Amino acid sequence: MNTGIPARKFLSTLVLGVASALFAGGMGIVSPAIAAPSVAGLPDFTDMVEKAGPAVVNIRTTAKMRSNPNGAMSEDEEMQEFFRRFFGVPMPRQPERTPRGNGKSQPQQEEEVPRGVGSGFIVSADGFIMTNAHVIEGADDVYVTLSDKREFKAKVIGSDKRTDVAVVKIEGGNLPRLPIGDSAKLRAGEWVVAIGSPFGLDNTVTAGIVSSKARDTGDYLQLIQTDVAVNPGNSGGPLINMRGEVVGINSQIYSRSGGYMGISFAVPIDEAMRVAEQLKTTGKVTRGRIGVQIGEVTKDVAESLGLSRAQGAQVQRVEPGSPAEKGGVETGDIILKYNGTNIERSSDLPRLVGNTKPGSRATISVWRKGATRDLQLTIAEMEPEKTAKKENGKTKPERTPNALGLSVTNLTEAQKRELNLDGGVLVDAAEGVSARAGLRAGDVILRLNNTDIKDAAQFNSLIAKLDPKKMAVLLVRRGDSSQFVPIRPNAQ
C-alpha cells in the first residue's frame, strides 16, 4: 500500500513518535496529550483610566505664615518648606521666636505658603469632592486643580478624623464625576487602580490587587489593603475597580522609609459615603455610644469562662450614668452580639454602635457567669473620652497570703464607695505566678472564674480549691478599667 510517505521519513517520524511517548508516558506508558491551560491576558486599564481620570483632582493646601521683613525665611521655615516640596507633608508649626538684639520686634508680613499636596475625586456634577481629612487638616486655604488645569478655591464642608474622610466643594457645573461602587462586594485578588498626585505628579495611575478587604488596623474602621503603589500625595485619591467605580479612598501606607513598600490601605467607600452624607447635611458626624471600655477575649479567658471559642468584647469598665450602666451591663461581661450581629473581635463593637443613631434602642447579648442574657440599651451620642480618675493611695492592711503568691486584704467601706464596688479584694503584694501574670500591688480582684469575690477569706478558700491542671481567670480592676488575667496555679 502506497501511503505517499517515503520509508526513511516514515521511520524517522516513527522514532520521534516513540521517543516522545517514552518521555511523556514514563518509559513505554503512553500518556494522552495534555492541553496547555489557557493564559488569560493581563487587564487593560486604558479605557477605564481615560474615562475616570478627568474626575480625579489635585488638592494643594496653603497656610498663612509670618515672614521676616527682609523676605528671608528662618531655619524653621526653610525646613518646613523642604518637607512640603519633597515629601508633600507639612512639618508641625514651631512657636515664634523672641527677636534678638535690641529686643524690639520688627513688623512681620503675612504670606501664603504651601502646606501640603494630596488628591481627591469629584462625586457630583455640582462640585462636591471627597478626600482625606489629613489632606486638609490645618490648612487655611484649599485649592483644587482639575486635569484640564482649571483651578478652584474650595470650601471645606466638613471632615471626620476617625474615618479620615473629608468633603470640600468647588463652584462649578456639569463637572466630570466618578460613579460610586460597592466596597462590600470586593474580593481578595481583584484588580484595582489608584489615580492621584504622588509627590505632586498629577493624574498618576498605579495598579495592583486587593490583598485583604477587611484589614483591622486598630483604628475605627477596617480598611481595604492593596499592593497598589501609593505614595505621599496619593492620599485622598480614588481606589477604582475594573468597572470604573470608586471602591475606596487611598488613605495610608505601611512604610519604614516614608515611601511605598508594597502595602497600602484605603477607606471603604461604603463607610466613606455614610460619613460624607452627614458632613454635607450637618458639617459633622454623629455617632452612637454605650459607654464601655472594652478589650479582646483571649483563648485562655474564653476557656476559663466556658465560652466555646475566643470571641466578643470584654467589658473592662462601665462609665457611670452611661447607657451601658443603665441597661445593666457589668464589668467582666463579654458582649457577644449587638442587635443580632456577632461580635467576633472587640473592634467590631464600636463600629456597630457608632453607626447606630443616638436615641434608638439596641439589644446586646452578654456572657456573664456561664450564661447568656440579653440587655436593652438606649444609644447615646458619642462624646470626647473622659480621663480616667486614678485611685488614691491607701494604708496597707495586714497581708493574707494564698497559694498563688497573692497577698490580699478586704476593701474598706470607704474604698468600696470610692471605687463604686460592692465587693472584691485589694492586692497588697504579688509574687510568683501572679507577678509573672502581671498582677501588682493596688490591683483589685473582682471575680475568680465565674464567682464574684466578696472578701479575702472567700477568695483564699476558692484559690485553695483550684485544679492545678486547669487555667483560671481573674477579673482584675486597675485604676478605672478592668480586664481578665489568665493564670495557671501550677505555672513555674
**Grid cell of 108 as nine digits:** 512681620
Binding-site annotation, residues: 134, 164, 233-235
CATH code for position 322: 2.30.42.10
pLDDT of residue 375: 96
Active site residue 216: no
Comparing 3-17, 142-156, 276-290, 408-422, the range with the smallest average pLDDT is 3-17
> Which among 248, 240, 269 has a CA at the least distance from the CA of 47?
240
Q: Is residue 201 part of a domain?
A: yes
Active site residue 164: yes
Phi, psi of 21 (to 5 degrees): -65, -40
Q: Quick check: 226 and 266 in contact, CB under 8 A? A: yes
183, 197, 235, 304: which one is catalytic?
Answer: 235
134, 348, 428, 443: which one is catalytic?
Answer: 134
Binding-site annotation, residues for substrate: 134, 164, 233-235
Average pLDDT, the chain: 80
Residue bearing the bigger pLDDT, 85 or 187: 187
> Which among 52, 43, 217, 60 has a CA at the least distance from the CA of 135?
60
Q: Quick check: 126 and 174 in contact, CB under 8 A? A: no
Which of 250, 282, 314 is the C-terminal boundary of a domain? 282
Q: Is residue 25 part of a domain?
A: no
Q: Is residue 331 part of a domain?
A: yes
Give residue 256's pLDDT band: very low, low, confident or very high (50, 70, 90): low
Residues 278 and 296 in one domain: no
pLDDT of residue 82: 45
C-alpha 355/C-alpha 375 separation (Å) is 19
Residues 208 and 233 in one domain: yes
Q: Is residue 39 part of a domain?
A: no
Q: How many domains is the chain partitioned into structurally?
A: 4
Q: Is residue 424 part of a domain?
A: yes
CATH code for position 70: 2.40.10.10
| Residue 424 burial by Cβ neighbours in a 10 Å radius (0-12, 13-18, 19+) | buried
Residues 83 and 157 in one domain: yes
What letter represents residue 167's amino acid? V
Q: Is residue 208 part of a domain?
A: yes
Residues 269 and 195 in one domain: yes
**pTM over the 0.85 mark:** no
Active site residue 134: yes
Q: Is the pLDDT of residue 109 over 80?
A: no
Residues 55 and 163 in one domain: yes
Residues 165 and 64 in one domain: yes
Residue bearing the bigger pLDDT, 420 or 24: 420
119, 159, 160, 164: which one is catalytic?
Answer: 164
Q: Is residue 255 part of a domain?
A: yes
Q: What is the pLDDT of residues 187-224, one digit of tens each?
A: 999 999 999 998 888 889 999 999 998 887 755 778 99
Q: Is the pLDDT of residue 30 over 50?
A: no
Residues 158 and 58 in one domain: yes
The residue segments making up the domain with residue 127 are 51-92+110-169
Q: Is residue 5 part of a domain?
A: no
Which of 282, 315, 350 is the C-terminal boundary of a domain? 282
